[in-house]
Amino acid sequence: MSQITPDEIKRLEARRNLLAEKVGRLRDARILATDENEKFKYDHNIAEAELELTDVKKQLADAYDLGTESGQSFLREKVLDLSLTGEMGRLHLVNCDRLDLRDRFEAGFDHRQNTLKAPNHYYFLSSCPSQMPPSLGERMVYELLGELLDDGKNPVFCRYNARNHDRVDLKKLPIGITLEKSQELFRKFLAAHFDWPIHTDLPHALAQNLFPKPNYAFSILPFSLRKAEWRDFFPEYFDWIAQQLAQRPPGGPTLLLFFVVYLDDLHRHYDPATQTCSDEKSAAILTALDALVERHPAAGHFYPLLPVPETDLRDWFFDLGETNTARLRPVLDTLANALPPDERELYRQKLLNMNRVELVQEIVFEAYNKEKL
């Protein structure tokens, strides 16, 4: 469909309201009518008005869709009415809610870093894609980076995606049809990631402290893996990765490996109360990862990532300086209107999938920084 301007959306909203009022008046009049011909006429007029109202609602749903330029423009217009005074950087693309998981990460990180003195950390983030698990890892990276810069230390070595607001560049985990092929793909990935000659021997690179970059306090390797890509040999593959990295000599930077494991609809299949998962394959993957964490003290597993309360998005705006709920309401209402039918039921519980929240954060981030130029 062609893009709809914000002014056209406002006209559609006004038309929707008028039609809804018209249908209500016609129904009231139909109840009072006694003549059968008059009732028939009301029924016809009601059906016509309801048909037009349905069409207008569909046009609005398409226009509100935040995946379209018209939906984003309309939300951007509402955002520009806000009074945002706080500083806004990459962290604000990923720092809404997840406070309990962030606290768990920080506690585990401190234990591995300061108590275990672990040179390599491993973090598994298992979640439905709709809950944006990479963002939890990104948040940890950005907050860690901020702390290091505040302390005057060398920053984190991490690849960033210049086409996506310089966010952490998440890479697919090298995995082949066999364990041996996966190991070879991992060696080649490390050579490319750390700018080694392509045929560099991994044990030699580790012994020479070529891996990771030696002049940083921390080095980040973020990977993703989808449920369909899972192989039964993954636990053995991970054991091999950990064994290889354990050969690094002391004195180098701490290496943080993030494994984002995408399990579709995990927040629907997993019951936190009973700690059980109704999806058989997802349950098997969670069990395998939990077992790895038991064997490797330097590893942690974070799941499930659940939909977030609308109030957390409101608090995110509060932290940026907009505390007037009357100005915030149009932004939140626009987001609610953009939700597909299955997510509207979730919103009735005042909950939002994180991918919707991050669309809002990105639009706010872009509008805010454009205003600052």
What is the predicted pLDDT for the residue at 372? 54
∠ CA 343-347-353 to the nearest 5 degrees?
60
What is the predicted pLDDT for the residue at 86? 72
What is the predicted pLDDT for the residue at 301? 97
* 118 and 258 in a common domain: yes
Q: Does 236 map to a domain?
A: yes
What is the predicted pLDDT for the residue at 58? 75
Residue 251, token pair as written in the block:
């004195």
Burial label for 120, CB within 10 Å (0-12, 13-18, 19+), is: buried
Q: How far apart are CA 125 and CA 240, in angstroms?
A: 20
Q: Does 72 map to a domain?
A: no
Q: Does 199 map to a domain?
A: yes
What is the predicted pLDDT for the residue at 89? 86
* 236 and 126 in a common domain: yes
Q: Does 71 map to a domain?
A: no
What is the predicted pLDDT for the residue at 373? 42
Question: Tens digits of per-residue pLDDT, 32-61?
Answer: 888 888 888 989 999 999 999 888 877 776
* 178 and 36 in a common domain: no
Q: Which helix (H) or strand (E) covers residue 342, if one does?
A: helix 341-348
Last residue of a domain, one of 276, 302, 328: 302
DSSP 233-253: THHHHHHHHHHHHTTPPTTSP
Q: How many structural domains does the chain have?
A: 3
* 116 and 28 in a common domain: no
Q: Does 48 map to a domain?
A: yes
What parts of the chain have a pLDDT lower than 70?
1-4, 6, 61, 148-154, 211-214, 371-373
Last residue of a domain, one of 255, 286, 302: 302
Q: Find all residues with CB under 8 Å of 373, minimum gap 6, and list them.
A: none
Last residue of a domain, one of 256, 284, 302: 302
Q: Does 278 map to a domain?
A: yes
What is the predicted pLDDT for the residue at 1? 45
* 291 and 315 in a common domain: no
Q: Does 75 map to a domain?
A: no
Q: Which helix (H) or strand (E) covers residue 120, if one does?
A: strand 120-127
Neighbours of 274 (CB within 10 A): 7
The whole domain housing 38 covers: 6-64
Neighbours of 170 (CB within 10 A): 18
Question: Tens digits of per-residue pLDDT, 270-295?
Answer: 999 999 999 999 999 999 999 999 99
